[in-house]
C-alpha cells in the first residue's frame, strides 16, 4: 500500500504558522479513506450497504511541527483486528522526519448494532488480513 500524502493548507495553520494539532485527526481519516480505496472497497461502498465505522478511540503523539505547504506522507497499518473492531497505527513524516505517530480504533455498525466484518464483508476482511500478514 502506498502512503497517503497531505499538503498542509494555509487554513490548517494557527497564528504561529504551525499546523494546528486538531488537523492531524482529519489527516488520519483522509489516510484511512485512501487506504480503503486502495483495497478496492471504499467507505462509500460500505456505507451504501448500510455499515458505518465510527471511531472508538484515538491517540496522537506529536514529534515535530509542520507548516503551510509541507507534504505529510502518512503510512498506516492494521495494528489489531478482531471480529468487531480494528485498530490502525499511523506514522506521519515530512521527508525522513517523523512529525506525528498515532493510533485509532474503529468498530462496525449496521442498524445501530455491532456487525462482524468477517461475516458481513468477507472479501474486504480477506484483503485487510492480507495487509497484516
Average pLDDT, the chain: 95
Looking at residue 37, its pLDDT comes to 94
Segment 26-39 mean pLDDT: 96
| Residue of 86, 74, 91 lying closest to 38 (CA atoms) | 74
Is the pTM higher than 0.95? no
Grid cell at residue 17: 504558522
Helix (H) or strand (E) holding 113: strand 113-114
For residue range 46-83, what is the model confidence (pLDDT) as tens digits? 899 899 999 999 999 999 999 999 999 999 999 999 98
> What per-residue string of b and e applies to 69-79 under the rule 16 or more CB within 10 Å gives b?
ebebbbebeee
Three-state DSSP class for 49? coil
- Beta strands in 22-112, from DSSP E residues, in sequence order: 51-52, 55-62, 71-81, 85-94, 97-107, 109-110
pLDDT for residue 133 is more than 80: no
Higher pLDDT: 102 or 84? It is 102
Domains of the chain in sequence order? 4-132 (3.10.129.10)
Amino acid at each position: 500500500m502506498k502512503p497517503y500524502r497531505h499538503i498542509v493548507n494555509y487554513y490548517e495553520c494557527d497564528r504561529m504558522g504551525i499546523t494546528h494539532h486538531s488537523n492531524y485527526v482529519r489527516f488520519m481519516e483522509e489516510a484511512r479513506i485512501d487506504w480503503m480505496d486502495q483495497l478496492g472497497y471504499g467507505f462509500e461502498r460500505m456505507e451504501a450497504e448500510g455499515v458505518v465505522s465510527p471511531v472508538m478511540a484515538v491517540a496522537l503523539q506529536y514529534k515535530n511541527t509542520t507548516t503551510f505547504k509541507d507534504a505529510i506522507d502518512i503510512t498506516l497499518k492494521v495494528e489489531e483486528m478482531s471480529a468487531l473492531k480494528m485498530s490502525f497505527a499511523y506514522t506521519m513524516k515530512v521527508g525522513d522526519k517523523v512529525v506525528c505517530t498515532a493510533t485509532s480504533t474503529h468498530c462496525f455498525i449496521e442498524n445501530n448494532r455491532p456487525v462482524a466484518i468477517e461475516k458481513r464483508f468477507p472479501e474486504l476482511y480477506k484483503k485487510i488480513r492480507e495487509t497484516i500478514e
